[in-house]
Structure 1
């Protein structure tokens, strides 16, 4: 019967079905509207996310570029730091060397000051020595002038003494000649031999005459010797420098009286 009932009702729609369809349509429209709104929100979020993704990618590229630039700067800074360290070490070694050189320069400066002080002292000593030498030179000039005056006086005295000596030598030669002539004239005569029986007389032997003659000759000889000795002493005292030159004639003169004295003694 149900089938028949259903078959016989094609022209009319049941109200429950229409209400159900309306409810379903309302629900579907509400779901579509909610889904479309959600889809719109999601699309908008996707667009926002895409924009954010672009921005983030750009920022990432910028960060990568900045990172690379920073890494390059870090490398440059590291190189600069290494160079600075090397320069610092070099500066330290240079400073040490400069300290050493300064110490050596200070020591050299001290040595130079000491040398300068020594030079000043030596200069003062040289000045004092120079002044003393000047004084000595002045005194030397005075002594030289005085010695020259003494020399002139002594030369004049020497000339006078030479003249006196020549005069004395002339007198001595005259005395020697007189002595020679006297010695030649006083030769005694040979006594005659008498017989042994008769005694010898003084008158025959001629002792008195010969003795008186020999006495006179001896006195003259002594006088001549005294004069020669006096002349020799005067010559030695007056001219000590020319003793070697005067010894010749004096020695010759001194030898002749000795020979004469020996001859007289033999006679």
Structure 2
């Protein structure tokens, strides 16, 4: 074959099967560069096949519920139960039945760039999205578990159309009689995974904004979790207006600084 490696690379990017005549022609080319292109093309196909299989697996709950007559199936997830500062954020998402975007998964398993990209796609293609935000002071009043349920309920209240079935990650919400709680649901349900992405990107952006308002805790990187830099900030600066005063390290830092007055 007389084509250059760069030309072959471009042509292979459009090939989707080993049965393609051009791919078969490439198999006869003994140049090392072409052999490497064939290997990388096969790896790309293998990865795409895995993503397609994962998508089908992630849509199984929604598909089964659809066959039972449910039309508006909402996935619900939260982010921010463990941090020492900032709100807990929940999202509820209803996706169309033909939603087929590859790569949707538990938001914690995705890079920031991938989450941001999927965030925009979900916002564009979802039938409805709701976001519930419960701030630090309410968390201190009612505890983090109840605050999480409040955030989830708030997110569901915003959905239009209203859901006729709800899939919730991990915790039983009891928002509706037509509801199913799934352990590690953000790895099992496309709707819950989409909600986890919406919730995480929303909360991460809030914490990045708070980092500018309250420097010294590294909120832009730790999102309020108790990292070494965050704990060092508590030790040297004390608490800031978005800290959860009912959480032990914050409570201890507050008492320490009050004792110095």
TM-score by length of 1: 0.21
Where is the helix percentage greater, Structure 1 or Structure 2?
A: 1
The structure in which a higher percent of residues are strand is 2
Report which structure shows greater RCO (CA 8 Å, sep ≥6).
2
Q: Taking structure 2 as the reference length, what is the TM-score of the superposition?
A: 0.21
